[in-house]
A and B are shown apart, each in its own frame.
Chain A
């Protein structure tokens, strides 16, 4: 076991391989507050990559309804329980977040999934879900309860819940890669994308058991495991319409709720992020700290960052996103001018945005949010692609078109 630095945990941790060679990291911010669970992302991925025989149960992108649903069923609750059993009472955070990029959320004092494993039969604590557990990708979403004389009825949700959008986290310290006894999984230095070599994979499913997010999946018709490939031809700028610059993945580009923004961040040898506040992902993760990693305590340093839902009980959110939740929600509910403008840049273009600028605009309206006076400015936000060319320009105030009722038919 080598020692590597995990900035999300604010400490060094055990990992089978030393870090090293890396340049850029695939990363994204998902704003949970705006997801409507339309599953367009899920279908964009499915219709691109996983509609072949043997991939019937595969959803590299899925959206699950928390806390009821999970794909596979109860994946997170199961692993949290295993970790608690192996590290009783130890899964705790200490200290407070620092301003630097090395420990923004304090320090995690518990054991990661690499540290609770015995190292002989397992390098990573995990489990192998059976096929039934993969068969209901969004159990707990609105669904008919009972057929009766009046037809099926949907439950009307009165309790709180939120949707969790999930793809492979292209972790800085991938559990799948650590667990593979074949060296069949690799992480690319140019974008940090984690891939399974389909020629070397022998279907041992060690990665399926090890991935805490359960994003490595077994395909019985080829007897190999497959996973989200981060739409790497698009990230490489190979798509003819992107003119050679990185383009957002299928699941990101199709998001009609405009909850997703994807980027590539510059990283150091120890996997911390190079200072770059003009990069929108860096800005949201490290400057505003409004977007947080999913279950950072597992220790893989995942790279999909979530703006937590402001209405869900905090205890639950703190377990899911770590101790940065309260500050993140405060930032989100009372955004700075720049953050407010940046949120409008989500889904404004299909090119990956490498830098953004905010041009001040006039006052749009004054609100009195929870007793606090808030002024909204109609600023303009501009996004630039990998070559520094302007690819998007939008304003804070959404244009509204009201259709007359008489032609409002769907």
Chain B
């Protein structure tokens, strides 16, 4: 799922593949929509809402459009503009749909939200990326930390996905800009990329970052990369799956297991609106319950049969009505 520079022969090849995937998804989403409607969303009322992590019987993988996601209910979590600390802003995303699964000691969280524009390049001073993040208290069962970034004694762990880092790192101006020309780069070793040289997490391919924070301005990426993330855009919406193995990978990161009850908050950024950092849409904390309830079996064929059957009956009925009407 991870679209990196290395696995694309060319950027355009990668883009074409992604588009095919997006088109395929439009069909899936129609069904997801129908099923979600039948299942009914659970409206989130701040802390009262609970996201249940269902137990999957097969590896759901990192594809947000994959089978099991369609069979579990989404929790609609309302979002507001971040207005606690500088820089305020970001109110482009009214709500996100949150779902969760676990399989074989691995938690999967899926976040979906409306966004009609894909902003997956930051190759330009005014370009900002679409992004999403989920946030957990550093220790499960601890007092819920202040919503934004935790506080000095109770930290938070944040998993962030960014559309631009998933798309890869562009290397030079000419590579990114068809009109760009460079005569010669005399030296291209890492010393010329100070951020890379000192291990800045943004100067790397990879869609996900694992961050810990204990208050504003303390957000720090962990040197290890225990979190995976992958996003797909269907033309109107982003859907992103995050995953991590249950055991805590280190300090400031929650230890999870079946039976864990903790909290989860969501943030999302719309690159089109130049959202970044505090300029984002944020949710309150909602409960996350990693339970043993299995993912409901795949009823899609039945629903399709029902829909097609209903349509068939309807058509027949219309024809009959039309025939017998003078």
Contact = CB atoms under 8 A, between A and B. Distances in A.
Interface of A: 51-54, 56-57, 119-123, 128-131, 134, 181-183, 198-206, 208, 217-224, 226
Contact of A221 (B126, B172, B277): B172
A224 B191 CA distance: 15
Contact of B200 (A52, A201, A204, A217): A201
B159 to A, nearest CB: 15
Contacts of A203: 122, 202, 276
B198 A131 contact: no
A33 B14 CA distance: 55
Nearest to A181: B277
B125 A51 contact: no
Contact of A222 (B164, B194, B219): B194
B239 to A, nearest CB: 24
B195 A198 contact: yes
Given A120-B88, A182-B217, A222-B195, A53 B277 contact: no
The 6 closest A-B pairs by CB, nearest first: A52-B192, A222-B195, A53-B172, A198-B194, A223-B202, A220-B123
Contact of A56 (B173, B203, B219): B173
Interface string B122-156: 11111000000000000000000000000000000
Q: In which size bucket is the chain B interface?
A: 35 or more
Contacts, number: 120
A134 B124 CA distance: 11
Contact of A198 (B86, B188, B200, B274): B200
Contacts of B89: 121
B30 interface: no
Contacts of B279: 121
Given A119-B86, A222-B195, 18 more contacts: A51-B185, A51-B187, A53-B173, A53-B182, A53-B188, A54-B171, A54-B193, A121-B86, A134-B125, A181-B277, A201-B200, A203-B122, A205-B276, A206-B277, A221-B193, A224-B194, A224-B200, A226-B194
Contacts of A51: 185-187, 192
Interface in B153-193: 164-165, 169-173, 176, 180, 182, 185-188, 192-193
A218 B274 CA distance: 14
- Binding site of A, secondary structure by majority: helix, strand, loop or mixed? loop
25 contacts: A51-B185, A52-B192, A53-B182, A56-B172, A120-B83, A120-B86, A121-B88, A128-B126, A129-B126, A131-B125, A181-B277, A198-B194, A198-B198, A198-B200, A199-B198, A202-B277, A203-B202, A204-B277, A219-B195, A220-B123, A220-B170, A222-B193, A222-B200, A224-B203, A226-B194
B314 interface: no
Nearest to A183: B217
A306 to B, nearest CB: 27
B214 to A, nearest CB: 13
A220 B165 CA distance: 12
A52 B187 contact: yes
A217 B277 CA distance: 18
B184 to A, nearest CB: 9
Contact of B170 (A121, A206, A208, A221): A221
A155 B171 CA distance: 38
B199 interface: yes
A166 B213 CA distance: 38
Given A220-B123, A224-B195, A53 B185 contact: yes
Interface of B: 83, 85-89, 122-126, 164-165, 169-173, 176, 180, 182, 185-188, 192-200, 202-203, 216-217, 219, 274, 276-279
B122 A52 contact: no
Contacts of B164: 223
With a 10 A CB-CB cut-off, give which of A51, A203, A226 has the most chain B CB atoms.
Answer: A203
Nearest to A123: B86
Contacts of A182: 217, 219, 277
B50 to A, nearest CB: 32
Contacts of A226: 194
Contacts of B169: 221, 223
Contacts of B202: 202-203, 222-224
B9 to A, nearest CB: 20
Contacts of A52: 185, 187-188, 192-193
A57 B125 CA distance: 10
Contacts of B86: 119-121, 123, 181
Given A121-B88, A220-B124, A204 B276 contact: yes
B277 A130 contact: no
Contacts of B200: 198-201, 222, 224
Contact of A181 (B125, B173, B217): B217
